[in-house]
Amino acid sequence: MQPTTTGQNRTGAATAEEGVRAMLEANERWAPAEPIDTTLADSERSLYVIEADSVGSIPPPVTIHGMLKSGFDKLVGERPEVLMDKIGERLAFERSGTRLYDALIVKYETLVEGGEMPELPMPLDAGAADVASTLERIRAEEHEHFLLLSEVMTSLGGDPTAQTPCADVTGVASMGLMQVVTDPRTTFAQALNAMLIAELTDNAGWELLITLAEEAGETDIAEKFQRAKAEEEEHLVIVNTWFTALVTAPFATVAA
């Protein structure tokens, strides 16, 4: 893999002085005197917002058992669909998280084999674990989170294989993360930057789910979610420690 170094980057205006001068001259002569009016484009966009359907729908509970369960009883009348939608979202994100770590592990192993991977510091509370086993552990935890959510979804009478609206939206939003990590050209630090976005979202996502579960009176479920949240907090510290170390290291231009 080629390291990130200074090269023939010509994307900036400073590399084409003459062109910039011509552009400024043209701007001087033909630019509209008033700021461009985007009212028409804005109202067109508004029209689409008003007329559009929603992104999918939340499936109704699939089992009577789920609906009659005491937990679900408490939810009825308190917008249970919000909790189901958000569990569906988290489920999709944890599944993608597992795949993200799969891709990150491949990148890491390849760089280690090629002698291109600088040493990464382990956060103090990570004990004696090395980077490879820590990556495997985090990957396994993301997978466990996915399984936990599938189980909770089923216990509430939902279908864990259904794509809820928020699952769809979060899938679209996180597409770029997978592209960054699987891009063969990205450095480990660039991939970690994408993982940082994922882990920050993980943390906020579990926090919201805990609030929703508590509000619904689902204390057992909220407790399980708390344990996942504690793991996410650790993931965030580890990813951020590695990312910061790579970017601030003296070898940053080569390895990061």
Q: Nearer Cβ to Fe ion, position 152 or 255?
A: 152
Q: Nearer Cβ to Fe ion, position 87 or 255?
A: 87
Q: Closest by alpha carbon to 154, among 76, 87, 224, 77? A: 87
* Residue with the two structure tokens 């979610």: 225
Instruction: State how far the Cα of 254 lies from the Cα of 161, in Å rounded to an integer.
Output: 43
Shortest separation between residue 52's beta carbon and Fe ion, angstroms: 31
Q: Nearer Cβ to Fe ion, position 102 or 116?
A: 102
Instruction: State how far the Cα of 180 lies from the Cα of 186, in Å rounded to an integer.
Output: 7
154-168 burial: b if 16+ Cβ within 10 Å, else e: ebbbbbeebbbbbbe
Q: Nearer Cβ to Fe ion, position 72 or 101?
A: 101
CB of 199 within 8 A of CB of 231? Answer: no
Q: Nearer Cβ to Fe ion, position 67 or 236?
A: 236
Compute the CA torsion angle 77, 82, 88, 91 (nearest 10 deg): -110
Helix (H) or strand (E) holding 184: none
Q: Would you tell me how many other CB atoms lie within 10 Å of the CB of residue 199?
A: 24
Residues making contact with Fe ion (CB under 5 A): 94, 97, 142, 145, 199, 202, 232, 235
* Burial zone of 100 (CB within 10 Å; 0-12 exposed, 13-18 middle, 19+ buried): buried
Instruction: State how far the Cα of 118 lies from the Cα of 188, in Å rounded to an integer.
Output: 10
Shortest separation between residue 144's beta carbon and Fe ion, angstroms: 8
Shortest separation between residue 23's beta carbon and Fe ion, angstroms: 46
CB of 223 within 8 A of CB of 204? Answer: no
Shortest separation between residue 240's beta carbon and Fe ion, angstroms: 12
Shortest separation between residue 164's beta carbon and Fe ion, angstroms: 17
Q: Which residue is nearest to Fe ion (CB)?
A: 235
Shortest separation between residue 121's beta carbon and Fe ion, angstroms: 19
Q: Nearer Cβ to Fe ion, position 238 or 246?
A: 238
Shortest separation between residue 99's beta carbon and Fe ion, angstroms: 12
Instruction: State how far the Cα of 5 lies from the Cα of 53, in Å rounded to an integer.
Output: 47
Q: Nearer Cβ to Fe ion, position 75 or 83?
A: 83
